Amino acid sequence: MKTFTAKHDPRYVVGKILTLLVIILLAFASAGGYLFLDREISAGERKIAEGQIELEKGRAALKEGKAKLEAGKQELSGGKKRYEQAKDNPLLLLTDKLIKGGKGFEEAERRIAEGDEKVAEGESKIEIGEKQIAAGELELRIGREKLMLAKGARLACALGAAFFTLLLIRLGFRWRRSLVRFFMRTDT
């Protein structure tokens, strides 16, 4: 029966082999994590750029909508003032009743009511647009935060891959004699 020193005991060498295999797996896992995160970060950066463009378009549309709403309010206000002035003029009331049968003032009232509805609808759309802009800004902020976390994780994976690779090389050189003896020995 052969006796082995503790350094060259086959069980000890098998432990070294298993340690090296685990380190290889950790190095590959870290490198794979780096590659996966790199792809995800690139896709995330594209999405954030697209989101920023959409947000700017939304802001421009909101600004345009607010301008149209303000112009509509001004026009409605002017129409209401003219209607009230005309309503206070007895000569115009009489002329409308004689010529159009009172339909001119009825038409004006209908158009003012439609204008009020359109202004209310516009205000509602502006409110919805502002909420959508705020939601878009929040999504972009969250996306940027996730991107920063992913970049940190990618760096950790790169450092982990480098560390495990260097550790593998270091232990491989340190343990090379006992590993070579283990694989070269003949059992008799």
Say which residue, 180 or 111, is predicted with more confidence: 111
What is the mean pLDDT of the segment spanning 56-82?
A: 89
Contact 119, 76 (CB under 8 A): yes
Note the helical H segments in 2-102: 10-88, 90-99
Say yes or no to pLDDT of 5 above 60.
no
Say which residue, 101 or 69, is predicted with more confidence: 69
Structural domains present in the chain: 7-184 (1.10.287)
pLDDT, tens only, 146-161: 999 999 999 999 999 9
Say yes or no to pLDDT of 166 above 70.
yes
Sorted by sequence, the CB contacts under 8 Å of residue 86 that are 6+ apart come out as 92, 93, 105, 108
Q: Is the pTM of this model over 0.75?
A: no
In this predicted structure, what is the pLDDT of residue 188? 47
